[in-house]
Amino acid sequence: MQASARFPLLPVVLLGAVAPLAVALASQYVGGLQPCQLCIWQRWPYVAAIILTLLAFALPARLRAYGAAAAALAILASAGIALFHVGVEQHWWAGLSSCTGNLNTGGSVSDLVKQLESTPIIPCDRPAWTLFGISMAGYNFIYATLFGLFAVSAAWRQAGRA
């Protein structure tokens, strides 16, 4: 039996996409940590990776590694969003105006009221939780980068053997 046939790439990639999404949802609904806009954006690539992986199961066996690679690239997209989020948290660069809660106080009172009503409750520039000085966005960056690169590499090797 070939090594590529023994390594269950698609189930590993599927689990690798489901697990961080489950952690994020558990931290929100069980742990009570409310996500900011950038936190939500980091979840969407995992959803895309899950869908791509499930679709890859329907592909002919020789093409499944390419589906896994596409899912891995989606996971790497989450790493990119997470890196941006970490930069916003660390004040390396400005975040989205809709995410940092910066108010323009130079306008009328009605304009200020409108800004206050549209200001997010959860700002992106302040981590809701940290462990060892690393925020959830930081951990997502580390995880998504390492797992995404692992999965792309594994898919590349398996595609070469097909």
What domains are there in the chain, each with its CATH number?
Answer: 3-161 (1.20.1550)
Neighbours of 118 (CB within 10 A): 8
| pLDDT at residue number 109 | 78
Phi-psi region of 103 (alpha: psi -120 to 50; beta: other; left: phi over 0): beta
- By CB atoms closer than 10 A (0-12, 13-18, 19+), residue 110 is exposed
Q: Which of 149, 95, 99 is nearest to 119 (CA)?
A: 99
Averaged pLDDT in 10-residue chunks for the chain of 162 residues: 61 97 96 93 97 95 93 98 96 81 66 68 85 95 97 90 66
Taking the C-alpha atoms of residue 119 and residue 95, their distance in angstroms, rounded to an integer, is 13
Pairing of β 134-135 and β 130-131? antiparallel
Structure tokens given for 31: 């742990």
Amino acid at 109: V
Q: What is the pLDDT of residue 70?
A: 97
pTM: 0.83
At 130 the three-state DSSP class reads strand
Which pLDDT does position 6 carry in this prediction?
Answer: 54
